[in-house]
Amino acid sequence: MPRKTIRFMDLRIQDPRARKRLLEAVSRVFRHGVFLLGPEVAELEKRVAARCGRKFAVGVSSGTDALLFTLKTFGVGPGDEVIIPALSWIATANAVAMAGARPVFADIGDDLNISPSSAERLITPRTKVLMPVHYTGKICAMEDLSRIARARGLALIEDASQAFGARRGGRPAGSFGDAACFSLNPMKVFAACGEAGIVLTDRADIAERLGVLRYNGMVNRETCLEPSLNGRLDTLQAALLLARLGDVDAIIAKRRKIAAWYDERLKGKVGTPRQSSKEQDCYYTYTIRTPERDRLKAFLEARGVEARVRDPYLMPEQPAYRRGAKGEFPNAKRLAGRLLCLPAHEKLSRSDVSRVCGLIDRFFEGAD
């Protein structure tokens, strides 16, 4: 009898209480009928800003839009360079390119996050923004990056899409940069039931301009200040997010527990994520490294365990960017072929994790 598949991700909402709460939230929106920028959007903005210790939050239609609009509010455009890590979801580079600027790809460290020294070496007179990504749900070395940004007069924008709820030195993701962008899409740790994103900042001028950019550059119903797109956050998604906000800490606690179970069983067999005492990762993914990556993935999948290569290509090696990609990223190149994400979502049980680890043991014992 084949055993049940251990899914990499399980986005179904099957718990009756959770489902009821979400349906009630939808129902309230149906009753008031303000589907665009309704009261739930403002309420979510207020709650997320407070949670991350920020003055302002602006809800937008996706994480990609969050990045694009934010880059534009900092005046990024043609002729400018934005330094980003070589390893991320492609939206990070696309937002820079769609703003009309050039992405410059920095190397990553062993934490899989942008290397501050590599980023610093790539600064030119054209560099306008440093945009680190908290990859896998681990916050970057923000002390070093802030120091570099300040010294060189650059804006610092966090792509915190994978790190909602993560902390570093007690401070939450989204509280470090001049602005911080989150994707709240269904795969993220704090997730809508469709596309959604949010931007945080302490600067009133930035928040105000984001409000204009997310709605066709309109300041009111009459006046368009600058060309833009329509990228508002849906009231329905905001309502669903509000209904889920209270669960985020429990979700992260469970993911951290799963990570600890994996750490304990896998140490010495594969490279496991490292976490210093000042870091509290949210484990958007639990990413291991091994030179046997492709064989291990096939072995697991043949036995009912879904494992994923999250970003199989570095961004500068994508067809869209590889011609003349600017940057330096030897460590990223070395690591890219070794990374594998194991199932680590909060619905897994200890015995699920145990089964995955048992299979990894068998793989390294040479079982076939």
Ligand X SMILES: *Cc1c(COP(=O)(O)O)cnc(C)c1O
User: Hey, CA dihedral for 357, 307, 164, 281, is it positive or negative?
Assistant: positive
CB closer to ligand X, 62 vs 290: 62
For residue 221, count CB atoms less than 10 angstroms from its CB and return exposed for 0-12, middle for 13-18, buried for 19 or more: exposed
Q: Which is nearer to ligand X, 261 or 286 (CB)?
A: 286
183 binds ligand X (CB under 6 A): yes
Burial 247-282 (b: 16+ CB within 10 A, else e): ebeebbebbbebbebbeebbeeebbbbebeeeebbb
Binding mask 318-357 for ligand X (x = CB under 6 A): ----------------------------------------
CA distances from 4 to 185, 187, 263, 355 (A): 27, 22, 24, 11
Nearer to ligand X, 62 or 127 (CB): 62
94 binds ligand X (CB under 6 A): no
For ligand X, the closer CB: 63 or 316: 63
Residue type for position 252: I
Q: Does 215 bind ligand X (CB under 6 A)?
A: no
Does 237 participate in binding ligand X (rule CB under 6 A)? no
**Of the residues 118, 162, 228, 272, which one makes contact with ligand X according to CB under 6 A:** 162
φ, ψ of residue 217 in degrees (nearest 5):
75, 15
CB of 9 to ligand X, least distance (A): 13
Measuring CA to CA, which residue among 179, 93, 95, 187 is closest to residue 136?
Answer: 187
Burial of residue 350 (number of CB atoms within 10 Å: 0-12, 13-18, 19+): exposed
How near is the Cβ of 15 to ligand X at its closest, in Å? Answer: 24
Among 64, 70, 115, 290, binds ligand X (CB under 6 A): 64
Residue placing its CB nearer to ligand X in the complex, 88 or 280: 88
Q: Exactly one of 159, 178, 281, 352 binds ligand X (CB under 6 A); which one?
A: 159
Identify how many contiguous H helices and E strands the chain contains and give both numbers.
Answer: 12, 13
SS3 call for 105: strand
Among 48, 62, 244, 340, binds ligand X (CB under 6 A): 62
Judged by CB under 6 A, the stretch of 23-31, 57-65, 110-118, 139-147 that binds ligand X is 57-65
The reply on whether position 63 binds ligand X by CB under 6 A is: yes
CB distance 157 to 71 below 8 Å: yes
Q: Is 238 in the site for ligand X (CB under 6 A)?
A: no
Out of 89, 164, 262, 363, the only residue in the binding site for ligand X (CB under 6 A) is: 89
Q: How far apart are CA 343 and CA 4, in angstroms?
A: 14
Per the structure block, which two tokens stand in for 316?
């500068």
* Interaction between residue 164 and ligand X (CB under 6 A): no
Q: Which residue is nearest to ligand X (CB)?
A: 63
Q: Does residue 133 interact with ligand X by CB under 6 A?
A: yes
The binding site for ligand X (CB under 6 A) comprises 62-64, 88-89, 91-92, 133, 159, 161-162, 183, 185, 195, 197
